[in-house]
Amino acid sequence: MKYIDEFRDGDLARNIARSIAAEADPAREYRFMEFCGGHTHAISRYGLTDLLPPNVRMIHGPGCPVCVLPIGRVDQAIRMALEHGVILCTYGDCLRVPASDGLSLLKAKARGADVRMVYSTQDALALAQKHPERQVVFFAIGFETTTPPTAVAIEQARALGLANFSVLCCHVLTPAAIIGILESPEAKAGGVALDGMVGPAHVSTVIGSAPYEFVPERYGKPVVIAGFEPLDMMQAILMLVRQVNQGRAEVENEFTRAVTPDGNRKAQALVAKVFQLRPEFEWRGLGTVPDSALKLRPEYAAFDAELRFPLPYTPVPDHKACECGAILRGVKEPRDCKVFGTVCTPETPLGSCMVSSEGACAAHYTYGRYKDLAA
Amino acid sequence: MSEPRKQYVRPLDLKHGRVDMAHGAGGKAMAQLIHELFARHLGNEWLDQGDDGAVLPAPAPGEQLVMATDSHVVSPLFFPGGDIGCLAVHGTINDVAVMGARPLWLSAAFILEEGFALADLARIVESMAAAARKAGVPIVTGDTKVVERGKGDGVFITTTGVGALQAGRRIGGQRARPGDAILVSGSIGDHGMAIMSEREGLGFASPIVSDTAALHGLIEAVLATGADIRVLRDPTRGGLGTTLNEIASQSGVGMLIEEKALPLNPAVAAACEFLGLDPLYVANEGKLVLICAEPDVEKVLGALRGHALGREAAVLGTVVEDAHHFVQMTTSMGGRRIVDWLTGDQLPRIC
């Protein structure tokens, strides 16, 4: 496959691995967090940790949209479908996120809720046009990558005068999550010693590389923005090792084929036109983070599902035994969680990290759990 | 006196007619549907008797009977490379054939939804007839029911197959042993992606065609080599990844395969990439997974590649000892990972 195989060249990967092994100082440990679930998935799927020396460790970050989605938001979506009879559309990964009362959107569907999986906001819009007699709600989740398409759909709905389309907006912001990690109680207490961060791939195509400058400036940590292909990851890790060795802390861009310093200005303008900051938003794992999520501007209130179907947001604590929070903050690893692989499996997820293939627990369970077991 | 009339029954309107409740009521309308559609296309010495069941010859002395059944609910009913009709024939023939048996007869049961176009039904029945004829496995008995509109999805078809197993032939999921070789007969994921691209209207430039096919000829060619075949299986729902896990768990072994060895049609690889699917878990309807004793690998590979359905056959890896029964894969990067059971539903209603 052209444009894909070039970034999955095993020989080249082994060359980079040799450089990493040669340049990494055996006297110290390197702890890098890959922010995105896409990176986590690539590491696990391609077995990249096997190519790294033991003193270069990857810590899985919170950049998995469904993993940071709090239970209360899924509850809201389920209630819109069950109590208000709406057609609830969302991306496939959302369907299995555990909610209250042992429900998920998928289980609510089996109880009669009209839940539809869509591939894009355009599918949801088409459903609204096809069913003018029904209310169609798009459950909008994700970081800056999925936000512009939601803005487009809202603009289109307004242009079409669609009175039966609205959005339950749960879009969240990457820089706020990075602050959440670096300011977490554990980080302040020295519990998460990060030496650097692999910066987002797709998110950065939208926001650019400039918004990460605060990480080296304020926290003294290097950031290397990387694509989701395995060679991107390997190269980014090598670049991080070099920054650490040379005592540098800068934002570097490995993903130059898609990311510019300024990002996609058109998308940013559209997002700014339709959305505004929420004063605060609850994240799974990170708690309530100020200025970390978006809601519709008052001019677009007609398309705000939270206003159309008044369902108060009720925060719901995670299951007591679930370590998703600590795992999302990089404090714990999946194998440190008592319920990992026993009560909590991809078939019966207790926590959200076990739901999406981008979640740290699901990735480790699906691709790497053999490493935890004695032969 | 006027000429004697040929018949008073008005023939089925196969162009514009639709299934109605009377077609399943057991009366004249049902008899007409069976006569003018099912019997006309599927007819053979057993079906033509019009009895409630088929009287079939006993197997040869020493032979055993193998029986398998499969329900088909695919959506859409027609897809590139096939339709629910030929799929229903191939699916059950393959289930019988991977037991090492020679498929002999099929039954077919139809659940029709009120309002379903008779023209579509005719296309499906014709396709079943053609598939059964090509495979040399007649449909010897059948049944038709009709459910109210909204209670089905056009048509569901259940087929059951009976085959004869040669004396002394032992093939089964429990027989894989450490050291055995793991092979696949060709590219993976074609059927699932054909359905997916049709269903979602993805309109890829190079159309992906389902691999639906009857595998008994291919299997016969492999068995004729006299190789020590341990396991045969068709990796349908859940794909190759799930099938390998089933076998590993049944046999109490592990497996180690090579990502680079997986045969993959470039259009399927691209479509999977595009949709974020893993071809290891995408369904096949005309592929064979085969585990044989290591010394027989070349013989088996030769037989597979010598058959039209096995030209792209490949050796994937080896059966290993593993108390946890993991299927592991050496990735194209040189790392290692698990190929786990499929979780949830990558793609519903594919067969």
Share of chain A above pLDDT 90, in %: 73
Tell me if A13 and B334 make a contact (CB, 8 A cut-off): yes
Question: What's the number of domains chain A is made of?
Answer: 3
Pick from B329, B262, B276, B334: nearest CA to A48: B334
Which residues touch A108 (CB under 8 Å, ≥6 apart)?
A78, A81, A82, A115
Q: Is the peptide bond before B76 cis (omega within 30 degrees of 0)?
A: yes
Residues A164 and A300 in one domain: yes
Residue A229: which domain range? 5-66+175-253
User: ipTM of this predicted complex?
Assistant: 0.79
- Report CA-CA distances (Å) from A32 to A51, B169, B334: 15, 56, 21
Q: Which tokens sit at B77?
A: 């009913």
A367 part of contact set with chain B, CB < 8 Å: yes
Q: Report the CATH superfamily, name and number, of domain B21-165.
A: PurM-like, N-terminal domain (3.30.1330.10)
pLDDT class for A4, splitting at 50, 70, 90? confident
Q: What is the pTM of this model?
A: 0.87
Per-residue confidence (pLDDT) for residue A347, from 0 to 100: 83
* Distance (Å, whole) CA B81 – CA B126: 15
* Distance (Å, whole) CA A331 – CA A280: 23
Tell me, what CATH number does A122's domain have?
A: 3.40.50.11740
Residues A82 and A229 in one domain: no
Per-residue confidence (pLDDT) for residue B46, from 0 to 100: 95
Among A11, A12, A15, A45, the residue to mutate for chain B (most B Cβ within 10 A): A45
Residues A90 and A216 in one domain: no
Q: Which tokens sit at B89?
A: 């024939």
* Distance (Å, whole) CA A296 – CA A278: 9
A47 part of contact set with chain B, CB < 8 Å: yes
Give B238 to chain A, closest Cα distance, Å. 14
Domain boundaries, chain B: 21-165, 181-338
Pick from A305, A333, A352: nearest CA to A76: A305
Residue A314 lies in a domain: no
Count CB-CB contacts under 10 A for residue B176. 23
Residue A127 lies in a domain: yes
Residues A112 and A22 in one domain: no
**Residues of chain B neighbouring A96 (CB-CB closer than 8 A):** 344
Residues A249 and A186 in one domain: yes
Give A52 to chain B, closest Cα distance, Å. 10
Opening angle at CA A321, ends A316 and A325, nearest 5? 60
* Distance (Å, whole) CA B312 – CA B273: 21
pLDDT digits (tens, 9 = 90+) for B240-259: 999 999 999 999 999 999 99
Residue A114 lies in a domain: yes
pLDDT digits (tens, 9 = 90+) for A98-131: 899 989 999 999 999 999 999 899 999 999 999 9
Per-residue confidence (pLDDT) for residue A152, from 0 to 100: 98
Opening angle at CA A235, ends A230 and A240, nearest 5? 125
B201 part of contact set with chain A, CB < 8 Å: no
Partner residue opposite B273 with nearest CB, options A1, A346, A368: A1
* Distance (Å, whole) CA B209 – CA B194: 5
**Residues of chain A neighbouring B344 (CB-CB closer than 8 A):** 96, 346-347
Residues A77 and A57 in one domain: no
Among B193, B204, B324, B331, the residue to mutate for chain A (most A Cβ within 10 A): B331
pLDDT digits (tens, 9 = 90+) for A268-322: 999 999 999 999 999 988 889 999 999 999 999 999 999 999 888 999 888 888 8
Share of chain A above pLDDT 70, in %: 99
Residue A318 lies in a domain: no
Are B141 and B46 in contact by the 8 Å Cβ rule? The answer is: yes
Residues A47 and A92 in one domain: no
Count CB-CB contacts under 10 A for residue A160. 12
Residues A211 and A143 in one domain: no
Give B337 to chain A, closest Cα distance, Å. 5
Count CB-CB contacts under 10 A for residue B246. 18
When pLDDT is averaged across residues A201-230 and rounded to a whole number, the result is: 96
Residues A21 and A129 in one domain: no
What is the identity of the amino acid at B203?
G
**Residues of chain B neighbouring A8 (CB-CB closer than 8 A):** 332-333
CATH number for the domain running over B181-338 = 3.90.650.10
Are A241 and A183 in contact by the 8 Å Cβ rule? The answer is: no
Among the listed ranges A157-166, A283-292, B101-110, B156-165, which one has the minimum average pLDDT value?
Answer: A283-292
Among A18, A146, A367, A372, the residue to mutate for chain B (most B Cβ within 10 A): A367
B203 part of contact set with chain A, CB < 8 Å: no
Tell me if B324 and A368 make a contact (CB, 8 A cut-off): no
Tell me if A1 and B266 make a contact (CB, 8 A cut-off): yes
A51 part of contact set with chain B, CB < 8 Å: yes
Give B349 to chain A, closest Cα distance, Å. 15
A44 part of contact set with chain B, CB < 8 Å: yes
The DSSP result for B202-255, as a single string, is: ---SS---------HHHHHHHHTTT--EEEEE---TTHHHHHHHHHHHHHT-EE
Residues A129 and A278 in one domain: yes
Residues A179 and A61 in one domain: yes
A48 part of contact set with chain B, CB < 8 Å: yes
Return the half-sphere exposure (C-beta side, CA atoms, 13 A cut-off) of residue A152. Answer: 14
Residues A83 and A50 in one domain: no
